[in-house]
Structure 1
Amino acid sequence: MASEEELLHELMVCTLTLGDATFVHQHVVDAWAVQHATEDSKPIAVMFGLIGLYLHLERGFNGREVQRAHMQLGTPRRTWSMPELPERRGAIRVDDVLEAVPGLDLQVMIDVWCNSVWEACEALHSQIGETCAFELGVW
């Protein structure tokens, strides 16, 4: 039986080989970073994951646009604080996403996963929205 991390790598291969202009792979990276964050995770990875989920689900950004926002946030370098995450961060897991048929169904399941993780972090929604407004000018 494959570990969840091995399943993530399988999913990443699928999303990287899509060659889609919207770069759905970014949403996989963001959902994973938030859902699997630990006390050892880098705060920037978790914050960028939350920001990516916010931009995608609340503001309609595609993965390429989220990637550009991440680059903008990374220049100049700043120190990010680790947000207080809930213990449970979504019921949908990587194996659920991989059960989808490659193609449109896979992209739909990635969005379902992202939404599951984002909704689990509801207490952070206003903080992340304010961060995006302040740092990116995205209201």
Structure 2
Amino acid sequence: MFYTLGHTGGIFIHQHIVDAFTAQNADRHAKPITGFFALAGLYLYLEKNYTGLEVRDAHLQMAKQTKAFPAITLPDDWGALTVCDVLAAPPGADRDEMIRQWCLAVWDAYADEHRMVITITKQLLNI
């Protein structure tokens, strides 16, 4: 968190680690909005090239549209990478790329939820 909160360049990479960590550590007790926002954030980052600031703003916009979000089905496999892999990468470009790879691994773990997350996110954001 210290690394991403102190990251320069105005891209707010911190949002991406929040979404990856939240999705990878979800349990059946999590509120539907929590899992949905984490996956929507990963979708917007990875497939729509949103910056962390844009993802954060999208979360706010979606929350204004509705308070009812679908429950997310948890995956059997959480992805091959974890925050430990991110921390093992040297700070700078290597760590930033590892964050992206971690986000991809988590997003891929939820492949069964992609269609639903993408459809609802597009509807709520008019994209």
For 1:80, the aligned partner's letter is F
The number of aligned residues is 127
For 1:23, the aligned partner's letter is F
Q: CA offsets, 1:68-93, max 9 Å, x none?
A: 10010111551222111212121101
Matched, 1:115 2:108: no
2: CA distance between counterparts of 1:70 and 1:120?
A: 21
Q: Report 1:40-59 matches (<5 A).
A: 40-59=29-48
Q: 1:87 is paired with a residue of what secondary structure?
A: coil
In structure 1, what is the equivalent of residue 70 of structure 2? 81
2: CA distance between counterparts of 1:97 and 1:39?
A: 25
CA RMSD of aligned residues (A): 1.2
Matched, 1:105 2:94: yes
In structure 2, what is the equivalent of residue 29 of structure 1? 18
Q: Equivalent of 2:28, from 29, 36, 39? A: 39
Matched, 1:69 2:58: yes
User: TM (normalized to structure 1)?
Assistant: 0.86
User: TM (normalized to structure 2)?
Assistant: 0.94
1: CA distance between counterparts of 2:63 and 2:8?
A: 25
Shift of 1:19: 3.5
